[in-house]
Amino acid sequence: MTDLDFDAERRLFLKRLAGASAAIGVSGLVACVQTKTAPAPSAPAPANDAPPPVGTRGRLGELETVLLRHASGSSAAIAIQGAHVTSWKRANGEEMLFVSENSPLVPGQPIRGGIPVIFPQFASLGPLPGHGLLRTATWDVAEVSRDPSGAVFALFRTRDTEEMRAVWPHPFRASLRVTLEEALSTALTIENTGQEPFPFHAALHTYLRVGDLRQVTVAGLEGARYQDRTAKSVERRERRRPVAIRGETDRIYMARPDRLRIRDESRQRTILLDRAGFNDVVLWNPGEEKARTKSGLADGEYLTMLAVESAQIVPPVQLAAGSLWSGVQHLRVS
């Protein structure tokens, strides 16, 4: 990729972030406007002039999903429970996200894999259930459409409920916009609808599917400070360049907003991860022992996944009454 290509992509990425900030109050742009034209029997329009269907409904186990399809041939699936991305396939059919075959796919149970939405608490860093309140929440499908660039998207919305307020007494609205082209962008927006400020963590807990974890490296974390959650969150500095995954890994890399390059040597591909609004990165893999005893993964699955999470944890976001916060991540294969 040349510098000019990168600059153009960065401008598009930041433009979409600006759009995500308005997602709660604006339903989005509709790119396809129907117009009436006189029939021309002698010269019918070619069938491929019509844009492909943007999205349909499907099912994953007992969960209802929204299926997105892009003109390039790429596709994505999002479970309406949790606004949870469960699949991102390239045009060649290659699946990029990991979902465990042991994952319960039933209402009320979180999915193990894909891209869970984490809010307002990361993991066990607070009094709430692990990873907060939204993974099994009911979300509304606000819009499924195509934007002016040709990308297709689905917009989901949810808000606080009486049950949530019983354990976390802060009114809020949340939206998640999933945008698909050859790449996949996921934008989370939180609005404080109450009268008092509140703190929160947020993350997109992205489980990447890899060919062989032992041949995966992550570049872009060199020199970063991180909390090692396998060692009581002791703070260390990353000395490796790039980072290889050896054994159980659970780290919060702090204030590291730069592009990451996840190299999957066994599949001869590099995944580029760009972020805005999320300054932290979490790397997680349970390792062989915990994969067997505590992770809920099937035998050997830990070698086929790596969680690379866009996050804002240290420090938490402090959101004033009536204010919005947005974070977005952009994944593509180079």
Which CATH number is associated with domain 52-333? 2.70.98.10
170 among known catalytic residues = no
For the entire predicted model, the pTM comes to: 0.86
Average pLDDT (295-317) is 96
- What percentage of the chain exceeds 70 in pLDDT? 84
Q: What is the pLDDT of residue 295?
A: 79
Contact indicator for 158, 142 with CB cutoff of 8 Å = no
CA dihedral 97, 102, 106, 112 (to 10 degrees): -40
- How does pLDDT run across 171-190, given as a tens digit for each residue? 999 999 999 999 999 999 99
Short-list 158, 28, 17, CA closest to 84: 158
Short-list 297, 277, 278, CA closest to 286: 297
Report the SS3 class of residue 227: strand
Task: Give the chain's mean pLDDT.
Answer: 88
Query: Does the pLDDT value for residue 68 go beyond 50?
Result: yes
Report the SS3 class of residue 203: strand
309 among known catalytic residues = yes
Give the HSE-up count for residue 4: Cα atoms under 13 Å, Cβ half-sphere.
0
Domain boundaries in the chain? 52-333
Average pLDDT (96-109) is 96
Dist CA 79 CA 11 (whole Å): 29
- How does pLDDT run across 220-261, given as a tens digit for each residue? 999 999 999 999 999 999 999 999 999 999 999 999 888 999
Classify residue 162 as exposed, middle or buried by CB count within 10 Å of its CB (0-12, 13-18, 19+). exposed
Average pLDDT (82-95) is 97
Element (H, E) at 282: strand 280-285
CA dihedral 168, 170, 173, 179 (to 10 degrees): -50
Q: Which of 131, 205, 301, 330 is catalytic?
A: 205
Q: What is the pLDDT of residue 27?
A: 33
Give the HSE-up count for residue 244: Cα atoms under 13 Å, Cβ half-sphere.
5
Q: What is the pLDDT of residue 3?
A: 44
Dist CA 85 CA 299 (whole Å): 23
Query: Does the pLDDT value for residue 4 go beyond 70?
Result: no
Query: Does the pLDDT value for residue 66 go beyond 60?
Result: yes
Query: Does the pLDDT value for residue 169 go beyond 80?
Result: yes
Short-list 149, 73, 79, 156, CA closest to 115: 79
Dist CA 137 CA 80 (whole Å): 9
Report the SS3 class of residue 161: coil
DSSP for 68-124, please give it.
EE-TTS-EEEEETBTTEEEEEE-TT--B-B-B-TT---STTS--SBSB-EEBS--TT
Least confident window among 6-10, 137-141, 212-216, 221-225: 6-10
Query: Does the pLDDT value for residue 12 go beyond 80?
Result: no
Report the SS3 class of residue 130: coil
